[in-house]
Amino acid sequence: MPFFDAGSQFLGLDEPPDYESLTGAACRPISPRSATPMPTPSTGRSRKDWEQLAATLRPEGRAFIGGKLVGSVAGRTFGDISPIDGRVVTEVARCDAADVDAAVKAARAAFDDGLWRRTDPKTRKGVLQRFAELVRNDTDRLALLETLDVGKPIMDSVNVDVPLAADCIAYYAEYADKLYDEVAPTSPHELALIRREPLGVIAAIVPWNYPLIISGWKLAPALLAGNSVVLKPAEQSPLSAIRLGELGSEAGLPPGVLNIVPGFGEEAGKALALHGDVDMVSFTGSTEVGKLMLRYAGESNLKRVAVECGGKSPHVVLKDADIESAAAGIAWGIFYNQGETCHAGSRVIVHASVKDALLEAITRVTATITLGHPLDPATRMGALIDNGHMTRVLGYIDSGVSQGARIVLGGRRAYEELGGYYVEATVLDGVRADMHVAREEIFGPVLTVMTFLEEPEAVRLANDSIFGLAGAVWTNDMNAAHRISASLRAGTVWINTFDRSSPATPFGGFKQSGFGRDRSHHAIDKYSDLKTIWTAYR
Ligand code: NAD
């Protein structure tokens, strides 16, 4: 079935997105030092253009197993609902244990066959480079799939999600012919080789907030290392993952090397994590489900587990900070992607003497972050993922107010008439460390504000969380900046910026934000095993 109706005039990009300026930003378009928002990107299309393109889109909903698109064994499907308006985008294969088993068998057969893992490095590099290129060339449809599924602004899908997924695949492609193994020091007449070998079948289980980017973080290093992958996208956002399966195959991945099993967590996800022939599960999602992954591994075959989980990242703002830069970094840091970002800077801990100035500046920046229809190029904040999540986010706002917080901005549902799930950018002041809004991951556009007087108190408040994914320090005093960043228990600390990253920097958490790292050469180790080959010679 064609992806678009024949005759669509929108099959190509009129103006390619400015990849260069965005390659360093994981999720948010801010400049490196000042955290100033970049100008709204434009591909020259109007909302009407995108809506017409969406109307002609024919998304593929079947699973991708053994190099083929297939329906579920039981013939069951589920309606893939768009948070933009609550309508069903398409029916998607509802994979369960039988489909997962077929995918794992295909992955195992491909691994045993060795067609991929034993391919010479130059060929493997070429296939991954072509995969990255095909992703880039497919920007329009991938971006639309992402926006229809997740409700994020189309401009972000075009300029951030698609290019960053392609960049990640291209980054790991380069390792194929540049990675060396090791020779250990031994006595004379002996040679000990330490070889990196693929683990086998990797189960990648991913969330709905950045489906393309996080899938890329997992499948690119796993494939580079020579593994086979079974990717389970979140039930809310399966469409771009299915398309990735098709593109990987078109790029030259042998059948069975990359399989996609859409379905529900309790069905497809659980069956995959419990499967006895899966060698590793690489999970990104909530801390609650991350803990289940450890249980499933223990109850089954002691497969390896890497878990990237939730966050509640603090911004520590000292009294000498550049308030304008801090406000831009803080506002974009919580409202980008509607606050549905694992490392969103959701807790401001500001010196009491500059709180009012900071709140005033955050209010000004937030006024430029337009909440609206995700297919409108001017929109910078779209819809939340579903009705249940929107209700939960609104419930947190109510809980904050009932526990004594004051709403400075927002606080309400918006655009109810669209039938989707929109919540205003919300700032809560007067928050105390014991409130639910300060302790739990809201995963929506809600910023909490607390004050401090002395530096140790700021550090204590920042670390007073079960999470430890990221944090930021805003100050012109570099001694204080490094003192505080060394004291923060978090996988990433930004100083005078927020959310700068690249495929070359590891990403992951401390504490209950999980363990294992995505991105960088460290991720390759996660998908590899070490084998010693000891030889005696004369
Ligand atoms: P989730 O934990 O509900 O689901 C994540 C994935 O796990 C989905 O594919 C889901 O279908 C699957 N799943 C759910 N229950 C399962 C089960 N019992 N067995 C097996 N699989 C199961 O998370 P979500 O709501 O999709 O995503 C939001 C969460 O993800 C937030 O907590 C966020 O912080 C976190 N997240 C973390 C990172 C990171 O890198 N640390 C990145 C993005 C999102």
Tens of pLDDT, residues 358-379: 999 999 999 999 999 999 999 9
Do residues 223 and 334 both lie within one domain? no
CA of 478 to the centre of ligand 1 (A): 36
Same-domain check for residues 398 and 458? yes
Asked if residue 388 belongs to a domain, the reply is yes
Question: Structural domain tally of the chain?
Answer: 2
Q: Are residues 121 and 269 in the same domain?
A: yes
Q: How far is the CA of 308 from the centre of ligand 1 (A)?
A: 9
Q: Has residue 334 got a pLDDT over 60?
A: yes
Alpha carbon nearest to ligand 1 atom 19, residue: 270
> Among 96, 313, 342, which residue has the most ligand 1 atoms within 8 Å of its CB, making it the best to mutate?
342
Residue labelled with tokens 């300026």: 21
Residue 43 confidence (pLDDT): 63
pLDDT score for 13:
28
* Domain carrying residue 192: 64-309+513-532
> Using a 6 Å cutoff on CB, does residue 345 contact ligand 1?
no
| 304 and 321 co-located in one domain | no
Catalytic residue among 308, 340, 424, 441: 308
- The reply to whether 168 belongs to the active site is no
Residue 168 and residue 107 share a domain = yes
Q: pLDDT (tens digit, 9 = 90+) per residue, 421-443?
A: 999 999 999 999 999 999 999 99
Cα(78) to centroid of ligand 1, in Å?
Answer: 19
Structural domain includes residue 32 = no
For residue 273 and ligand 1, the question of a CB distance below 6 A is answered with yes
Q: 275 with 348, same domain?
A: no
- Ligand 1 neighbourhood includes 269 CB (under 6 angstroms): yes
Interval 198-227: pLDDT, tens? 999 999 999 999 999 999 999 999 999 999
Domain-embedded: residue 13: no
Q: Is the domain of 244 the same as that of 345?
A: no
- Answer yes or no: do 241 and 256 share one domain: yes
Q: Would the CB of 311 count as within 6 Å of ligand 1?
A: yes
- If asked whether residues 151 and 198 sit together in one domain, one would say yes
Average pLDDT over residues 148-177: 98
| 238 pocket-lining for ligand 1 (C-beta < 6 Å) | no
Rg of the chain, C-alpha, whole Å: 23
Same domain (yes/no): 366, 240 = no
Q: Where are the alpha helices (DSSP H) in 300-443?
A: 323-335, 355-366, 387-402, 436-439
Q: Is the CB of 94 under 6 A from ligand 1?
A: no
Q: Is the CB of 469 under 6 A from ligand 1?
A: yes
Whether residue 262 has pLDDT greater than 80: yes
Helices (DSSP H) in 97-238: which residue ranges? Answer: 97-113, 121-137, 139-150, 154-156, 162-173, 211-224
Question: pLDDT class for 38, splitting at 50, 70, 90?
Answer: very low
Confirm or reject: Cβ of 265 under 6 Å from ligand 1. yes
Residue 1 belongs to some domain of the structure: no
Q: Read off the pLDDT of each residue in 71-77 and give the average, rounded to a whole number.
A: 98
Question: What would the pLDDT profile of 224-261 be if each residue is shown by its tens digit?
Answer: 999 999 999 999 999 999 999 999 999 999 999 999 99
What average pLDDT does the segment 31-60 reach?
A: 72
Of all protein residues, the one whose alpha carbon is nearest to atom 14 of ligand 1 is: 265
Statement: residue 281 has pLDDT above 70: yes
Whether 284 lines ligand 1, by a CB cut-off of 6 Å, is yes
CA of 401 to the centre of ligand 1 (A): 28
The answer to whether residue 20 sits within a structural domain is: no
Ligand 1 centroid–CA 283 distance in Å is 7
Pick the residue with more confidence: 28 or 62? 62
C-alpha–C-alpha distance, residues 87 and 93, integer Å: 17
Instruction: Verify whether ligand 1 is closer than 6 Å to residue 267 (CB atom).
Output: no
Q: Calculate how far, in angstroms, residue 52's C-alpha sits from the geometric centre of ligand 1.
A: 32
Residue 175: CATH number of its domain: 3.40.605.10
Confirm whether 22 is domain-assigned.
no
Q: Give the Å distance between the CA of 213 and the centre of ligand 1.
A: 14
Atom of ligand 1 nearest to the CA of 296: 19
Tokens of 473: 């320090």
Q: Rounded distance, CA 204 to CA 367, Å?
A: 38
pLDDT number for residue 44:
83
State whether the beta carbon of 256 lies less than 6 angstroms from ligand 1. no
Rounded to an integer, the average pLDDT of 497-514 is 97
Q: Is the pLDDT of residue 9 over 60?
A: no
**Residue pointed to by tokens 């709905």:** 208
Neighbours of 15 (CB within 10 A): 10
Structural domain contains residue 14: no
Beta-strand relationship, 63-65 and 345-351: unpaired
Residues 304 and 319 both lie in one domain: no
Give Cβ neighbours of residue 126 (< 8 Å, ≥ 6 apart). 173, 252
Out of 60, 342, 424, 441, pick the active-site residue.
342
In ligand 1, which atom is closest to the CA atom of 285?
30
Please name the residues in contact with 391: beta carbons below 8 A apart, sequence gap of 6 or more: none
More confident: 20 or 326: 326
Among residues of the chain, what percentage have pLDDT more than 70? 92
Average confidence score pLDDT of the chain: 93
Enter the tokens of residue 26. Answer: 């994981």
**Whether 371 and 277 share a structural domain:** no
> Which CATH number goes with the domain that contains 400?
3.40.309.10
| Interval between CA 284 and ligand 1 midpoint (Å) | 5
